[in-house]
Structure 1
Amino acid sequence: MIITAAQVLLIIVRWVFHLVPLTKGYIPEPGRFLRTLLTLTFHGDKLKKLEFLTEYYFYYGLFKFDAKIYIFNPKLAQHAIYKLEKGAEHYLENSPLKNTFLGSSQKSPETRRAIASLFRKTSIEERAAIMISDIQKMCTIFKKDPKGIVNVTQWTLRMALDIVGHVLLELDLNGLEKKQEKMISSMLTILHRCYAMGEISSDSKEFSDANEEFDAITQRVLEEALSIDNVTIKGKRLVNSLHDACGFSEAKDNMKLFLMAGTETTASTIPVVMYLLVKYPHIQEELRQEAEELLESLVADPTTPLPKTESVLTEVLRLYPIAPFISRQNYEPVTLGDVNLKQHADVIIFTWGIHRSPHYWDKAKEFVPFRFLNTSKTSGNMFIPFGAGSRVCIGQHLAWLELRLAVAMLLYQFKFEHAQETPELNFVVDWAHAVVHPDKDMIFKITPTQNDPITLS
């Protein structure tokens, strides 16, 4: 690896800075010289700049960059999470998720309470058979591919959409049958082309058209879901709970959140897992052996532990947290530790920096697949891939079970290998919605195993 002059200067500047006495209560901010070095080294990659500054300002536990205060000291981060208000609404000005409860703790707390029971761990596990059926449908499609080359990103997006439809809405969205291509196209235009890749702006006609398309589709989905009388899920359905709590318009807005967040995070995580398992085939084989041993039990009881698979998934969420930060705001002056924050400070709890800090984790920047095999999930360190506090991700149990089932079932039925089309793993960030994406679709070569397809009794 060639080290540039700018990188050498960054190393020297970091070493010199750590000789400077610590000033308590001070929020450091990079000056013009350091910013120039960061640009020369990392160009426009803001995530890498912030990661460097996390180490550079480690002893302060926070820093200011582009008018935002980034916190990565675990104690300060916990104080900020619990003392400050949810602060995403000012990032979502043109987003279709602006009017959902994603934006603010002041927005529709009664709506969140009304649907909370549907997202409890036990409630989600009761619907595991539905997930298994959708995942198996995707696996069946994979086996029909004549070339054995599959776009895991695109298919997991469709699979996740079907799971959201079946598990949350009791509705057949038929994503795997390619009957929601307009919905998927509008979602990708908004979330990927605009917010993550920056190919179009939020005031462009393409964005406006996609936004209108997605709004119209969501309205039709909600109307169809509300018209269904046969209920198989215990208790009140999600759509009815939403509608009763906040009315049709707000229910439609929050439906957008479930459709987008419930699909894109899965379609961002599973391809990263598979990329790493292709890179480390011996780890893939160990997880396949675990799946062969335990999958029958898992299908019968979704609470069945998959120790190695769960360790790998936990490590992926540590090394590449799909939600790289948590936003907070203070509506009046507040003190965090020794730091005094002025009113309306723009605070970011920098999950990416916390999870990847060499001060908190051994081999912090490396993929250590069985790091969590014989330890607790956090191993004594702060681990918050789904956020924390009262505003923790409401769909975390759905996401975790879906990941466990999907990875185990895919490895049980296929061997994944590098293909000519497989890209390198690089990330882009949707700073408005706080999501990290691989910058390209993950495409792999697959070979079916000799294992029989999964069947439900």
Structure 2
Amino acid sequence: MVRAVPAIVRAPHLFLAEVTRRHGPVAAIPLPRTPVLVLADPDGVRRVLVENARGYGKATIQYSALATVTGPGLLAGDGEVWKQHRRTVQPAFHHGSLEDVAAHAVHAARGLVAEADALPPGTPLEVLGATSRAGLEVVGHTLAAADLSGDAPLLVEAVGRALELVVRRAASPVPAAWPTPARRRLAREVAVIDEVCARIVATRRARPLEDPRDVVGLMLAAGMDDRQVRDELVTFVVAGHETVASSLTWTLDLLARAPSVLARVHAELAGALGGREPGWDDLGKLPLLRAVVDESLRLYPPAWVVTRQALADDVVAGVAVPAGTLVIVCTWGLHRDPALWEAPEEFRPDRFLDAPRPAAGSYVPFGAGPRLCIGRDLALVEEVLVLATLLCERTVRPAGPAPRVDALVTLRPRGGLPLHVERLAPSAS
């Protein structure tokens, strides 16, 4: 393990995948004090996340680090308070609310197209930044039923910087309580987050709260205090903005490097839309594009690792797991296991069209069980319609070699991702 430290710091997703490749899908890591189990076994994943979900808590290093920024919100929280908060905000993610999300996703995608069109000819678009900006409108209306274009960028940038500092601190041997420069920078970023959130909450509180459909309105109407609202607001910026931007970025990169798949997507869009913009009613007419998103989430799951702590003794995939064990579900490795997936490193959207659905526990880009991501359906609607709006009259091609992966809070392309975004030739549209 001492020799492995550089590899863990450099590419933790690859290290965990290598552990299960070499030692099997249920592998113990020899660390002092806390037993650690790395899990890439579908039945074991179901046991921990679904069948015995109550037997596992989130008091882990991963979520404690995230809570430094998000507070004990839905992402990092646990217990009865988590259940109450989830019930409170659930209506913002009901099926009836998703039609509004669809309209905002299309509008946000128009801005992404306009941003690409405004570039000088031959200049690639920095996709990660563009998808992040495109998602701000959807996040704003889902969170606070408002255009947050003034505050959202400041909030997102501060959250991003804070999370980067948290990830670095988690990998550092220096005790977290020491007053290091990084810790002071983190405190400054959290202060900015608090200030912006207070402004957003105050603005929303000043507007009517009768029958709200947005997250902040629902929380205020339920009587949650400003600190609780702040924590959930930051949580949804992380879970609803950072993850979608990451997934859209990788999906566009995969399509740009798979021209045959991209041509089929263009043909599907031409047949389903006939040159017009997509909308809510078109989601069911785009099975290939949905399969592209599913396959992208397999290869690049934003939540590339999920951790739990055993609250009591258990048995997982035939292995005794004592109370206190840290269980690490390596989604990256699970989704690329050759025992579960044919040609696992290849981008093959058809595996989500032609074959039976993946076996339970083998495909968990949004988690599973009672802690299944509350925004799963929202994210899928947003991603499919952003891609459909962009690609109905545009195409993408690489502007350089395939990027390396940085496994931070989400999976990010190291150094960003430039892609050429160009108008489709008339014969291809």
TM-score normalised by the chain length of structure 1: 0.81
Report whether the alignment pairs 1:438 with 2:401.
Answer: no
Where 1:328 maps in the other structure, the secondary structure is strand
* Partner residue in 1 for 2:77: 104
Which amino acid counterpart does residue 442 of structure 1 have in structure 2?
Answer: L
Could you tell which deviates more after superposition, 39-48 or 311-320? Answer: 39-48
158 and 347 in structure 1: CA distance in 2 versus 1, 3 angstrom threshold: same
Cα distance in 2 for residues equivalent to 1:300 and 1:390: 27
Q: Shift of residue 396 of structure 1?
A: 0.6
* Partner residue in 1 for 2:396: 416
* Partner residue in 1 for 2:247: 269
* Partner residue in 2 for 1:161: 136
Q: Shift of residue 318 of structure 1?
A: 1.0
Report whether the alignment pairs 1:313 with 2:289.
Answer: no
Q: Shift of residue 363 of structure 1?
A: 0.6
Aligned residues with identical type, % of pairs: 22
Where 1:301 maps in the other structure, the secondary structure is helix
Report whether the alignment pairs 1:189 with 2:154.
Answer: no
Report whether the alignment pairs 1:144 with 2:144.
Answer: no
Q: Shift of residue 127 of structure 1?
A: 3.3
* Partner residue in 2 for 1:284: 262
Where 2:159 maps in the other structure, the secondary structure is helix
- Whether the aligned pair in 1 keeps the contact of 2:132 and 2:245 (CA below 8 Å) is yes
- Whether the aligned pair in 1 keeps the contact of 2:70 and 2:235 (CA below 8 Å) is yes
* Partner residue in 2 for 1:241: 218
**Pairing of 1:251-262 with structure 2 (within 5 A):** 251-262=229-240
Cα distance in 1 for residues equivalent to 2:5 and 2:77: 33
Report whether the alignment pairs 1:211 with 2:187.
Answer: no
- Whether the aligned pair in 2 keeps the contact of 1:86 and 1:105 (CA below 8 Å) is yes
Q: Shift of residue 39 of structure 1?
A: 7.1
- Whether the aligned pair in 2 keeps the contact of 1:332 and 1:342 (CA below 8 Å) is yes
Report whether the alignment pairs 1:135 with 2:109.
Answer: yes
Q: Shift of residue 284 of structure 1?
A: 1.5
Of residues 294, 306, 309 in structure 1, which corresponds to 2:272?
A: 294
328 and 208 in structure 1: CA distance in 2 versus 1, 3 angstrom threshold: same
- Whether the aligned pair in 2 keeps the contact of 1:278 and 1:417 (CA below 8 Å) is yes
Which amino acid counterpart does residue 374 of structure 1 have in structure 2?
Answer: D
The answer for unaligned runs of 5 or more in structure 1 is 1-31, 452-457
Q: Shift of residue 397 of structure 1?
A: 0.8
Of residues 59, 62, 78 in structure 1, which corresponds to 2:27?
A: 62
Cα distance in 2 for residues equivalent to 1:223 and 1:410: 35
* Partner residue in 1 for 2:379: 399
- Whether the aligned pair in 1 keeps the contact of 2:159 and 2:234 (CA below 8 Å) is no
* Partner residue in 2 for 1:224: 203
Q: Shift of residue 133 of structure 1?
A: 1.5
340 and 285 in structure 1: CA distance in 2 versus 1, 3 angstrom threshold: same
Cα distance in 2 for residues equivalent to 1:210 and 1:316: 32
- Whether the aligned pair in 1 keeps the contact of 2:137 and 2:147 (CA below 8 Å) is yes
Which amino acid counterpart does residue 142 of structure 1 have in structure 2?
Answer: A
- Whether the aligned pair in 1 keeps the contact of 2:156 and 2:237 (CA below 8 Å) is no
CA-based RMSD of the aligned residues comes to 2.8
Could you tell which deviates more after superposition, 42-51 or 402-411? Answer: 42-51
Q: Shift of residue 358 of structure 1?
A: 0.5
Cα distance in 2 for residues equivalent to 1:225 and 1:367: 43
Where 2:69 maps in the other structure, the secondary structure is coil
240 and 377 in structure 1: CA distance in 2 versus 1, 3 angstrom threshold: same
Superposed CA deviations along residues 260-281 of structure 1, whole A, max 9, x for unmatched, are 2211111111111111112122
- Whether the aligned pair in 2 keeps the contact of 1:428 and 1:438 (CA below 8 Å) is yes
Cα distance in 2 for residues equivalent to 1:199 and 1:185: 22
Q: How many residues align?
A: 406
TM-score normalised by the chain length of structure 2: 0.85
* Partner residue in 2 for 1:81: 49
The one of the two structures with greater contact order (alpha-carbon pairs below 8 A, sep at least 6) is 2
Where 2:103 maps in the other structure, the secondary structure is helix
